Chain A
Amino acid sequence: MNLRSMSAALVLVIPLAVSPAQAQTSLTSNDLVSSLQGIEAAPAGISAALLRKQALDGIRDPTRANPINREPLSAQLGQLAQFTVVINFDFNSARIRPESYRTVGLIADSLYHPYLQGYRFLVVGHTDSVGSREANLKLSQQRADAIRDALIDPFGISPARIEAVGLGEEQLLDRANPKAAENRRVQLINIGR
């Protein structure tokens, strides 16, 4: 059995909001595989259900009312092998826009790679802070579900391999600028075997 080093969790951030002009320079799925390679042992207790609960608790926590005070919900999440993409949806909707179909296909291609066969993955959706926190939480969950649905059909990934969770504005990328576009992102995280 190969034990992997836990220290090198690569976080690769790729703004893959694809416009026709940019499409030709996009990465291949195999470029992403190395940033998704995981470790043998499953990390303790990471699951969509747990994160959902943490997000709900976070919304009720008065110390987190101001975005600047919102510490990440899960310190563990940042340490796992992952990458971040941008997927565009219709306004206030979980419908994936056709210009982002390629990005979802890219995720599927990487999950087919032999190096990633034994692992399970979490799709995590995030919003900015525009609008209500509850609405953002709900929308981000619907969007994460939409991505998971597409990975299963038409892209054929086994449902047992992917979980989906929306974290709304509870885990902002830029807490000082909660309305900024960078906060609107999707993470794909390796949650172990």
Chain B
Amino acid sequence: MSDKIDIRTLRSNVESINALPTVPSTLRRISLVMEKPSIGLDELGSLISNDPALTAKILRMINSAAYGFPGRISSVSHATMLLGLSVIKGLLIGVSVFELMEKTMIGLWEHSLGCTVVARMIAQKKGLKEPEEVSVCGLLHDIGKAVLMLQYAEMYDKAMHEAEKTGTNIHETEAGYFMASHAEVGHWLVKKWHFPMNLVETIRYHHHPNLSKQSPIETAIVHVSDVLVRAKGVGYPGDLVVPAVHPAAWKLLNLSENDVGDLLNNLEDATSSVREMT
């Protein structure tokens, strides 16, 4: 056996993220709230409203190109009504994870936002009922990378260097250092935060969309978004190469050349405004 941390220790370390001194305080606070099994929209709304900085970040995100609601949403209560509990939860984690990503892996946030935009557009093109939920899946799919980087910076750095040097994907090289992939790690976290099943599955299987039983379409969307965002070279997800698309996922979505052209144009437009979302 190598010196890899055993999986139970890894999991319990990841799940006790709140105890880490290096975790940004907003994320710690939000994580604690999310752990409660039943939290209402009211409670979340007032949590946000009582924190002006958080309110500003959330509203900025909702009004950004990644979401693109017509007209401006200017209050938290309007946003919660419009978007619903799971999207607001995802956005809350998203904005607080932003700090974490900027601290741990420069470019991961831009990659994640790119996936947010593309995932939402594919969901719309495919006529899914809740495109915003799918875009939150895009936003959070790589949360595991940020957390592994936070807790095991040295090892994860090694995995990233190896990926860059050998021209492989980070999800392949990280297996040499950790007993669980960033996808597995991310899924532990959102499960702990009581996220809905589709979010849990898309995160867990975004590199293996064929394994998703509950949300095959959503998972295929996040998988394909990840490939397209990397293909265009937006942000930095921990390596420099595009992974092969899973043929069944690509076929399932059945995107035309025009569709892909649209997606890339939208991604281009959103990328130019990404830097304003801090």
Q: Do A and B come from one complex?
A: no
Residues of B within 8 A of A (CB): none
Q: Which residues of A contact B (CB under 8 A)?
A: none
